[in-house]
Amino acid sequence: MDCRRFIRARVKEMKKTVGDGKVISALSGGVDSSVCTVLAHRALGRKLRVIFIDDGLMRQDEPQSVKRNFAKLGIKVDILDARKDFFKALKGITDPEKKRKAFRNCFYRTLGKAIKASNAHFLLQGTIAADIIETKKGVKTQHNILEQIGIDPKKGYGFRTLEPLKTLFKPSVRAVGKALGMPREMYQRMPFPGPGLATRTMGLVTPERVEVVRQACRIVEEETSRIRLFQAFAVLLADQATGVTRDGRRSMGHTIAVRCVDSKNAITARPTQLSWSRLVRIQKRLIREIPSVTKVLYDLTPKPPSTIEYI
Ligand code: XMP
DSSP string, 16-50: HHHTT--EEEE--SSHHHHHHHHHHHHHHGGGEEE
**Which pLDDT does position 108 carry in this prediction?**
86
Mean pLDDT of 6-30: 95
Ligand 1 atom with minimal separation from the 306 CA: 5
Report the C-alpha gap between 238 and 42 in whole angstroms: 44
Poorest-pLDDT segment among 57-66, 103-112, 193-202, 218-227: 103-112
**Which pLDDT does position 149 carry in this prediction?**
47
Helix H or strand E encompassing 296: strand 293-298
Closest residue by Cα to atom 9, ligand 1, is 193
**Which pLDDT does position 152 carry in this prediction?**
61
Report the C-alpha gap between 44 and 48 in whole angstroms: 6
Report the C-alpha gap between 10 and 286 in whole angstroms: 44
Report the C-alpha gap between 50 and 27 in whole angstroms: 7
155 to each of 19, 104, 146, how far by Cα in Å? 21, 17, 11
- 165 near 128, Cβ under 8 Å? yes
Report the C-alpha gap between 185 and 87 in whole angstroms: 30
What is the strand order of the sheet 122-124 is part of?
Answer: 77-81, 48-54, 23-26, 122-124, 160-162
Report the C-alpha gap between 173 and 129 in whole angstroms: 10
**Which pLDDT does position 12 carry in this prediction?**
97
pLDDT tops 50 at residue 138: yes
Looking at beta carbons, which pairs linking 299-306 to residues 24 or more positions away fall under 8 Å?
Answer: 299/235, 299/257, 299/258, 299/259, 299/271, 300/271, 301/271, 302/268, 302/269, 302/270, 302/271, 303/261, 303/263, 303/267, 303/268, 303/269, 303/270, 304/268
Mapping DSSP to helix (H, G, I), strand (E, B) and coil, where does residue 304 land?
coil
**Which pLDDT does position 158 carry in this prediction?**
66
Confidence of residue 156 (pLDDT cuts 50, 70, 90): low
44 lines ligand 1 (CB under 6 A): no
Report the C-alpha gap between 127 and 230 in whole angstroms: 19
7 to each of 1, 98, 193, 284, how far by Cα in Å? 11, 37, 25, 46
pLDDT tops 50 at residue 196: yes
pLDDT per position as a tens digit, 224-279: 999 999 999 999 999 999 999 889 999 999 999 999 999 988 889 999 999 999 99
191 lines ligand 1 (CB under 6 A): yes
Confidence of residue 141 (pLDDT cuts 50, 70, 90): low
Ligand 1 atom with minimal separation from the 231 CA: 24
CA of 183 to the centre of ligand 1 (A): 23
pLDDT per position as a tens digit, 203-232: 999 999 999 999 999 999 999 999 999 999
Q: Which of 99, 220, 308, 311 to mutate to test the pocket of ligand 1 (most atoms within 8 A of CB)?
A: 308
Rounded to the nearest integer, the mean pLDDT of the chain is: 92
Give percent above pLDDT 90 in the chain: 81
Mean pLDDT of 120-132: 90
Mean pLDDT of 71-93: 97
Which alpha helices (DSSP H) does 73-206 contain, by range?
Answer: 83-90, 96-118, 129-136, 153-157, 170-179, 184-187
Highest mean pLDDT (candidates 4-13, 143-152, 184-193): 4-13
- 121 near 44, Cβ under 8 Å? no
